[in-house]
Amino acid sequence: MKTIEENDYIRIIYKDKSYFKKIITGQAFHGKGGILDYASLIGKRYGMRYGRYEVYEPTIEDIIMYGLRRETQIVFPKDSAFICLKLGLRNGTRIVEIGTGSGAMTYLFSKMAGPDGAVVSFEQEERHHRNAKKNIERFAEWDNTELRNENVEEYACEIPFDAAFIDVREPWLCLEAARRLIRDSAPVGMIVPTANQISDLLRGLEKGFGLVEVIEILLRKYKTVAERVRPTDRMIAHTGYLVFARKLEQEAGEDQGSISI
């Protein structure tokens, strides 16, 4: 049975409010439900009600939504989980990320790549790079992440990456760099907020890529009251358009006619 220990993170729920806190002896949570002394929780179980508060062990989603310090817009879990699936991430995967931002996707990539994998992430804005580095140092489980404060165009690797993800304002400008760094047939994913950006991306993907997809994911929650189950008044609808493709090479000497294999 896992218990709450010093320096652990907890998620506190009071009615419809959620709080993400770190257990530090000598400190306490002060809220409308009263005072919750952190020292009194050490050695106790997660998933229990203490006074008027519910205390849970944070999930990956909790860390992304409540734990990471944001200085940029992050990719929401409804999109990020699907991105990991489409990129085929698993223990041992090597992925290159162009556009670290606040490090939300970087953190998730680190979790999915596992102790045998590797994540190399590029961010040109030094302020965002520093913030992402703190987030990764705070929450990453394995030392499998390399954050680089530089342009990806200047980077070269001996072993091709298994996948690439691009989250920058003009992702079509990074397609050639991503293509150069990934192995044959490897997937590449991108996210953009507006439809006109999709058009620019599709034009950029016409050469050197195949299996192009454009996807939008909508998420609607329901009220959890047994007597009146219905959708909540607000929903997380559009957060971004997801674009996926696979690296595609043309066989040397191939023409447009029939070929024999």
Is 21's pLDDT higher than 60? yes
**Residue range 27-47: mean pLDDT, rounded:** 96
**pLDDT above 60 for 87:** yes
Three-class secondary structure of residue 210 per DSSP: strand
158 and 79 together in one domain: yes
The count of domains in the chain is 2
Q: Are residues 43 and 70 in the same domain?
A: no
pLDDT for the residue 256: 55
Show the 3-state SS of 112-168. Answer: HHCCCCEEEEECCCHHHHHHHHHHHHHHCCCCCEEEECCCHHHCCCCCCECEEEECC
User: Residue 81 domain-assigned?
Assistant: yes
What's the pLDDT at 259?
A: 52
Say yes or no: 16 and 137 in one domain. Answer: no
Phi, psi of 191 (to 5 degrees): -135, 135
Domain co-membership, 34 together with 156: no
Edge-to-edge strand ranges of the sheet holding 53-56: 17-22, 9-14, 53-56, 48-50
Which is it for strands 34-37 and 94-98: parallel, antiparallel or unpaired? unpaired
User: Is 90 exceeded by the pLDDT of residue 51?
Assistant: yes
**How many CA atoms lie within 13 Å of 256's alpha carbon, on the beta-carbon side?**
0
Beta-bridge mates of residue 148: 122
Structure tokens of 11? 């998620």
Average pLDDT over every residue of 48-63: 96
pLDDT given for residue 250 in this prediction: 80
Looking at the fold, whether 154 and 118 belong to one and the same domain comes out as yes
Q: If pLDDT is split at 50, 70 and 90, which confidence band does 237 have? A: confident
And the tokens for 78? 């409804």
Structural domain for 48, as ranges: 9-58
Reported as a pLDDT band with limits 50, 70 and 90, residue 251 is confident
pLDDT confidence of residue 70:
95
SS (H, E, C) 41-106: HCCCECCEEECCEEEECCCHHHHHHHHCCCCCCCCCHHHHHHHHHHCCCCCCCEEEEECCCCCHHH
pTM of the model: 0.91
* Residue pair 163/182 in contact by the 8 Å Cβ criterion: yes
Clarify whether residues 19 and 133 are in a common domain. Answer: no
- Residue-wise pLDDT for 141-188, tens only, equals 999 999 999 999 989 888 999 999 999 999 999 999 999 999 999 999
Same domain for 144 and 21, yes or no, is no
Identify whether residues 75 and 181 lie together within a single domain.
yes
Residue 252 confidence class, pLDDT cut points 50, 70, 90: low
